[in-house]
Amino acid sequence: MAQMNMKEAIRDAMRVELSRDPNVVIFGEDVGNVGGVFRVTEGLQKEFGEERVFDTPLAESAIGGLAVGLGIQGFRPIAEIQFVGFIFEALDQIVVQAARMRYRSGGRYHSPIVFRTPFGGGVKAAELHTDALEGFITQTPGIKVVVPSNPYDAKGLMIAAIRDNDPVFFMEHLNLYHAFRAEVPEGEYTVELGKANVVREGTDVTIIAYGLMVHTATKAADELEKNGIKAEIIDLRTIAPIDIDTVLASVKKTNRAIVVQEAQKSAGVAAEVIAQINERAILHLEAPVLRVAPPDTVYPFAQIEDTWLPTPARIVETVNKVLNF
């Protein structure tokens, strides 16, 4: 098995699907010739030609509209939005046009599109390059939202997303592109959309996270273990829809939970997870489910990024609160 970082794994997924299905096309700003600003699509244009992998003019709404139009024509577009902050320019095409196509046409048309976008903090990028904007999309009916945390999942989720006949918003954490290598099978395999994964088993508390926060939570769990506290970590992988069954099974075992997210605290994925735990498992809880999340401010300039984002220390502190409730 090959060792790949997450960037290479995502690229490999796209290569597999470009080879397998002639309807797969990739486009976006700078994705063709050089393979995008992060080189995720590097080499694909050379391998598959300019009709399959191509650069677009600099206009995000048109990237979204192009994807919707090609979807109507039977293609499977993979549209890259260069940085997450640029989705605002394309938001109508993503949440109004692509996500409603099946409903508006009563199933006559659909949008088998993957919108890929890098996001995520900790890299001291320019404004609006790193925000965790998933909340905008998870509130949208008709689109799935995927946030992989490791190379294996990233490849399998990407292949599943490309093959899905509905739109998928695929968020790639900037800090995970090169963070580490892991074993990734060659060829095709899928990781089912909408399925969470227990990445660390434990009995005392459940930590629910996704994306980079899975790794931040793991660091916290290592710390907690030194004091004999065994934390179970759930990687949601897909945040719309949320795999609540996996969360509930864990909470019923540990009776305590916290949710960690990189997005601002209010009205986000964590709030949704907590609401669903309350609806379905309140009598299993020994303490309220708490959130570790940045304050409800705009994403900060680079100077205070590290203290603004959730840290292992804050996760440990919050776990201790639910343990000592």
Partner 1 sequence: MYNNSITAELDIQIFIEVKKMTKVPYEVYTEEVDTLSVLSPDGKIVNKDLLPELSDDQLKEIMYRMVFTRTWDDRAVNLGRQGRLGFYAPVSGQEATMVGSEFALEKDDFVCPGYRDMPQIVWHGLPLYQAFLYSRGHQHGGQIPEGVNVLMPQIIIGAQILHAMGIAMGYKLKKQKQVVITYTGDGGSSEGDFYEGLNYAGVYKLPVIFFVQNNGYAITTPFSKQTAALSIAHKAVAAGIKGVKVDGMDVLAVIKAVRDAAERGRNGEGATLIEAVTYRFRPHSLSDDASKYRTKEEEGEWNEKDPIARLAKYLEQKGLWTEEDTARVKDEAKAKVNEQIKKAEQTEKMTVPGLIDSMFEQTPKHLEEQKADFQ
- Nearer Cβ to partner 1, position 98 or 229? 98
- Nearer Cβ to partner 1, position 75 or 170? 75
- Residue 192 beta carbon to partner 1: minimum distance, rounded to whole angstroms: 11
- Nearer Cβ to partner 1, position 47 or 92? 92
Alpha carbons 191 and 279: distance in angstroms, whole number: 28
Closest CA relative to residue 201, chosen from 218, 184, 215, 179? 218
- Residue 155 beta carbon to partner 1: minimum distance, rounded to whole angstroms: 22
DSSP run (H or E) holding 119? strand 114-119
- Nearer Cβ to partner 1, position 5 or 238? 238
Alpha carbons 124 and 126: distance in angstroms, whole number: 7
- Nearer Cβ to partner 1, position 112 or 118? 112
- Residue 245 beta carbon to partner 1: minimum distance, rounded to whole angstroms: 8
- Residue 276 beta carbon to partner 1: minimum distance, rounded to whole angstroms: 8
- Nearer Cβ to partner 1, position 163 or 256? 163
Q: Is-contact 194 144, C-beta < 8 A?
A: yes
Alpha carbons 273 and 275: distance in angstroms, whole number: 5
Alpha carbons 3 and 12: distance in angstroms, whole number: 12
Q: Is-contact 113 165, C-beta < 8 A?
A: no
Interface positions with partner 1 (CB under 8 A): 25, 51, 56-57, 59, 61-62, 64-75, 92-93, 96-97, 102-110, 141-142, 164-166, 194, 241-242, 244-245
- Residue 15 beta carbon to partner 1: minimum distance, rounded to whole angstroms: 19
For 34, which DSSP code? Answer: S
Known catalytic residue at 178: no
Alpha carbons 13 and 245: distance in angstroms, whole number: 28
Alpha carbons 255 and 281: distance in angstroms, whole number: 9
What residues form DSSP beta bridges with 145? 169, 240
- Residue 104 beta carbon to partner 1: minimum distance, rounded to whole angstroms: 5
Residues in the chain: 325
Q: Among residues 129, 173, 178, 215, which one is catalytic?
A: 129
- Which three-class secondary structure state does DSSP give residue 282? helix
- Residue 289 beta carbon to partner 1: minimum distance, rounded to whole angstroms: 18
- Nearer Cβ to partner 1, position 146 or 217? 146
Alpha carbons 25 and 7: distance in angstroms, whole number: 18
- Helices marked H in the chain — which ranges? 6-20, 44-48, 60-72, 87-91, 101-104, 134-138, 151-163, 213-226, 244-254, 269-281, 305-308, 312-323
Q: Is-contact 53 25, C-beta < 8 A?
A: yes
Closest CA relative to residue 26, chosen from 68, 98, 78? 78
What residues form DSSP beta bridges with 234? 198, 208
Q: Which residues are catalytic?
A: 129
